[in-house]
């Protein structure tokens, strides 16, 4: 794949959804199923790529694509090593003779456990001595019921989708910066979000509580859908916080971000893969399972189609820094991010998230 060209932004951009189509609507699901993202064919030769949640769903298919596109090392970060090795064998079997990935590495990562996140990050430093070019933080859950992680005290969605995601991103920053210094180009950090976050309103957030996160952690705040979409809104908040605290470089001649006009060492974005047919959310009430299956039949993309957005997001570089990527286009991040009220809430919640992460460093 060494002869595969780098794609320009114009080549990555696709046909956007019709104007006025609510991105979190059933109509948008249907449109997305009929208009899957492009399958980007670009070179990742020489790149070290890490994907969490890589043994199934869009994470698995993204890992397969990165391997086929020539990445020198693809790291499968998985909760179950046994399933990770099965995924590795499947990826190797799927590769054609002219497709080469020097190394596919399976590493254990349990996002429900801060200690596992820290151990993973420490071990990753040992296997990526030259740095990490691309980090795809894709692991996430749609909790079917209210569950508190005993070792941390946090509701499972907040733990996995928010706190561990933020902690892992922070721990990976030195490796991402190291790769950027080596290559002279920004490394890439991509997190999986959801267009469902656009449906969140101020009334859904306990704004008046002394601690927003602690209030969201209470049983009365839990809802199968509401907790999931709020956690994905907080992923957008994490992106903004990481950009403010971690992505810029002190080098004045580094690559420039079009949004801030400041040099950056790590380009950070969030993607929505569209409504995708995966096993996320399994184990919920029977009626939710039926509804989910019907929605998948009506407007579901395949996991392979959804994974394309993870790969294209990794190619956006400074063009995608601080942006929300879905359906091969940049999507408005919604009132809860862009408004003054949303920005104030973001700063407040990010401080809570960051303070918790600092206790784990």
Q: Residue 136, SS3? A: strand
**Sheet strands (E) in 147-214:** 187-192
Q: Is 232 a catalytic site residue?
A: yes
Contact 175, 260 (CB under 8 A): no
- Vertex 174: Cα angle to 172 and 176 (nearest 5): 70
Q: Torsion angle of alpha carbons 170, 234, 231, 81, nearest 10°?
A: -20
From the list 47, 88, 232, 323, the catalytic residue is 232
Q: Residue 94, SS3? A: helix
Cα distance between residue 288 and residue 282, in whole Å: 9
From the list 68, 73, 228, 237, the catalytic residue is 228
* R_g of the chain, CA atoms, integer Å: 19
Identify the bridge partners of residue 248 per DSSP, sorted by sequence position. Answer: 264
Using alpha carbons, select from 207, 227, 79 the residue that is nearest to residue 146: 227
CA distances from 70 to 44, 59, 105, 130, 293 (A): 5, 17, 15, 17, 35
Cα distance between residue 86 and residue 14, in whole Å: 34
Using alpha carbons, select from 179, 186, 192, 184 the residue that is nearest to residue 73: 179
Q: Is 275 a catalytic site residue?
A: no
Cα distance between residue 274 and residue 253, in whole Å: 37
Using alpha carbons, select from 168, 164, 166 the residue that is nearest to residue 154: 164
Cα distance between residue 11 and residue 42, in whole Å: 11
Give the residue numbers annotated as catalytic, written as ranges: 228, 232
């Amino acid at each position: 794949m060494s002869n595969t060209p780098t794609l320009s932004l114009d080549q990555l951009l696709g046909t956007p959804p019709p104007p006025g189509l609510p991105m979190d609507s059933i109509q948008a699901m249907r449109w997305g199923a009929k208009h899957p993202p492009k399958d980007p064919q670009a070179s990742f030769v020489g790149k070290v790529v890490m994907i969490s949640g890589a043994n199934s769903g869009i994470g698995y298919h993204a890992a397969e694509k990165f391997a086929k596109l020539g990445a020198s090392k693809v790291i499968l970060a998985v909760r179950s090593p046994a399933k990770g090795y099965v995924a590795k064998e499947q990826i190797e079997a799927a590769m054609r003779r002219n497709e080469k990935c020097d190394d596919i590495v399976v590493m254990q990562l349990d996002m429900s456990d801060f200690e596992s996140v820290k151990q993973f990050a420490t071990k990753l430093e040992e296997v990526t001595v030259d740095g990490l070019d691309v980090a795809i933080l894709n692991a996430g859950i749609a909790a079917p019921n209210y569950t508190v992680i005993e070792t941390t005290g946090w509701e499972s969605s907040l733990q996995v989708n928010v706190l561990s995601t933020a902690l892992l991103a922070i721990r990976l920053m030195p490796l991402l910066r190291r790769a950027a210094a080596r290559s002279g180009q920004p490394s890439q950090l991509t997190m999986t979000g959801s267009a469902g976050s656009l449906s969140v309103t101020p009334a859904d957030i306990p704004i008046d509580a002394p601690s927003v996160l602690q209030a969201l952690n209470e049983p009365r705040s839990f809802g199968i859908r509401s907790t999931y979409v709020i956690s994905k809104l907080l992923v957008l908040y994490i992106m903004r916080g990481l950009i403010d605290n971690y992505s810029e470089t002190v080098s004045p001649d580094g690559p420039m971000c079009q949004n801030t006009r400041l040099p950056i060492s790590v380009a950070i974005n969030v993607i929505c893969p569209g409504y995708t047919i995966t096993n996320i959310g399994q184990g919920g009430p029977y009626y939710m399972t039926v509804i989910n299956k019907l929605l998948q039949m009506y407007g579901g993309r395949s996991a392979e189609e959804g994974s394309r957005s993870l790969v294209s997001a990794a190619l956006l570089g400074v063009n995608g820094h601080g942006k929300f990527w879905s359906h091969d286009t940049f999507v408005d991040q919604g009132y809860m991010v862009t408004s003054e009220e949303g920005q104030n809430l973001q700063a407040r919640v990010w401080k809570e998230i960051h303070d918790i992460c600092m206790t784990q460093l």
